Homo-oligomer: A and B are copies of this chain.
Amino acid sequence: MPRKRQTANPTALGDRADIDARMAFLIEAGKLAGVDRATRIVDGSRVENSAEHSWHLALFALTLGPHAPDGVSIDRVIRMLLLHDLVEIDAGDTPFFAPGSEDTAAQDAAECRAADRLFGLLPVEQARAFRALWDEFEAAETPDARFAKSLDRFQPPNLNLANGGGSWAEFGVDEDRLRERLGPRISRGAPTLWDWLSPKIADFFAKRRAD
Contacts and interface: CB of A to CB of B under 8 A. Distances in A.
Copies in the complex: 2
Contacts of A111: none
B19 A30 contact: no
A20 B63 CA distance: 12
A196 B52 contact: no
A54 interface: yes
Nearest to A54: B55
A29 B162 contact: no
Given A19-B192, A19-B193, A158 B27 contact: yes
B29 A59 contact: yes
Given A31-B43, A43-B31, A82-B62, A26 B196 contact: no
The SS class assigned to the A binding surface is helix
A96 interface: no
Contact of A19 (B15, B67, B82): B67
Give the size category of A's interface with B: 35 or more
A184 interface: no
Contacts of A56: 26, 29-30, 33, 51
B195 A15 contact: yes
A202 to B, nearest CB: 10
Nearest to A25: B63
A168 interface: no
Given A26-B63, A49-B52, 16 more contacts: A15-B67, A15-B196, A20-B196, A22-B67, A27-B162, A29-B59, A30-B41, A31-B42, A32-B52, A33-B41, A33-B48, A34-B43, A52-B52, A52-B55, A63-B122, A75-B75
